[in-house]
Amino acid sequence: MWRLKVKILLGIDPGFASLGWCRFGLGKTPDLDRPLAMGVIRTDKSNKKANVLASNDNHRRICEIFKLLFPLTQDVIMFTAESQSWPRNSASSAKVGMAWGVISSLTELLSVPLLQMSPQALKKSICGNKSASKQEIADALIARYGIVIADGLLKDVAPSQREHAYDALGSVCATLDGEEVKLARQMM
């Protein structure tokens, strides 16, 4: 696992309707780090008029997430994500749980670690403020990496969905000072 020539981290912002992702190139030194690709996997509920059982529809959406996420895992040495937090609504919690099931299954299938951090730790790491807004996180990441939408990063993501991709990139950035990432750098 650690002998791959390319060190790629996959940041995830877990969600069922919108799952943000970022493939991140880990350099030998931090000045060589860079986001390689970012996006959002979207799944939509079936039209109620189609008389589809909710359980069948959820299964279809889980499969869509897996099919779209799996190709992004090529050469990945670890996943990062904001730690699990559950919405107050039980239906939303169940759907987020299904997305987490896909993520956990992929890390097990690929034998790669999953690094998690709390939303507050992520915000503090990126912005220096544990109550930073979504826009402040995006602005800090754009400034840090000089992200230009036109260069391919996020060009196919609707502006209203970009926060999920930025959260995925933020989850990677919040782990860069961790021991696991330091070890990966040493092994390059």
pLDDT recorded at residue 5: 57
Cβ-based burial of 72 (10 A; exposed 0-12, middle 13-18, buried ≥19): middle
For residue 151, the model assigns a pLDDT of 61
Would you say 9 and 80 are in contact if contact means Cβ atoms under 8 Å apart? yes
Set out the domains of the chain in order of their start, with CATH numbers: 8-186 (3.30.420.10)
Q: For residue 76, which of 45, 44, 36 has the smallest C-alpha distance? A: 36
| H/E stretch holding 64 | helix 54-69
Return the structure tokens found at 156.
Answer: 């196919």
What digits encode the pLDDT tens for the residues 61-81? 999 999 999 999 999 999 999
What does DSSP assign to residue 154? T
pLDDT-derived band at 1, boundaries 50, 70, 90: very low
Tokens coding 23: 């493939």
Q: pTM to 2 decimals?
A: 0.89
Alpha helical stretches, state H, 146-178: 162-173
Quick: pLDDT tens for 142-163: 899 887 665 667 777 888 888 9
Structure tokens at 110: 């690929």
Count, residues in the chain:
188
pLDDT confidence tier of residue 50, bands split at 50, 70 and 90:
low
Check pLDDT > 50 for residue 187.
yes
| Displacement of CA 73 from its chain's centroid (Å) | 11
Closest CA to 24 of 134, 163, 147, 133: 147
What does the pLDDT look like over 77-121, one tens digit per residue?
A: 999 998 877 666 777 788 888 899 999 999 999 999 999 998 899
Mean pLDDT across the chain = 87
Average pLDDT over residues 40-52: 80
Is 90 exceeded by the pLDDT of residue 124? yes
